[in-house]
Homo-oligomer: A and B are copies of this chain.
Amino acid sequence: MPVLVILAHPNSGSFNHAIADTVVRTLKECGHEVILHDLYREEFDPVLPGSEIPKNAPVAAAVEEHCRQIMACSGMVIVHPNWWGQPPAVLTGWIDRVLRPGMAYEFDEDDSGEGVPRGLLTGKTAVVFNTSNTAEQREKDFFGDPLDLIWKKCVFEFCGIETYLRRTFSVVVTSSPDLRKQWLDEVSSVVVKYFTPHRK
């Protein structure tokens, strides 16, 4: 079972790309098959059309491929900057389009859509790496860090994923090369810890 790596940053020289490169390399060193999606590079269209909302609706070929992969993977590593307390739109829309009913979650037969769904991605591992230009304490005290609620509660628990870690690196804009190297070492350690064959 492969591991998915989902990257959402427009600039190929960004620290997000350095994180994703480290993730991919470390996963391969651990013997994993890796599928990398650089959503900007593949020009993923994040706008969910109305026609794709119904449960068994036909979806675009690119979306269908993502759906198949999310169901078949052992886990995923998601890399993105914190923009306005949210992922960049290209990734928000990846959630909107790829995490479909009947694939990522399911309502009971007699439920009209207002009930508590059953997650279908159980047993998978999810790791999120974020970058930010806001100091950690200010993010918690002033902004309330909505990204943690979004990934942990609204996305992963909703879909049945319990093994979850999120790590935010900040402040990136003023960070030294040495600090960035330390951060990439930490990325590598986290990946080894969460995706060793022993944990499966």
Contact = CB atoms under 8 A, between A and B. Distances in A.
A144 to B, nearest CB: 4
Q: Which 9 A-B pairs have the closest CB atoms?
A: A89-B93, A85-B154, A10-B50, A146-B146, A46-B89, A146-B149, A144-B149, A114-B171, A89-B92
Main secondary structure of the interface of A (DSSP, over half): loop
Contacts of A48: 10, 83, 88-89
Contacts of A86: 86, 92, 95, 150, 154
Interface string A132-173: 011100100011111101100111001000000000000101
Interface of A: 10-11, 40, 46-50, 53, 83-90, 92-93, 95-96, 99, 112-114, 116, 133-135, 138, 142-147, 149-150, 153-155, 158, 171, 173-174
A141 B130 CA distance: 25
B150 A112 contact: no
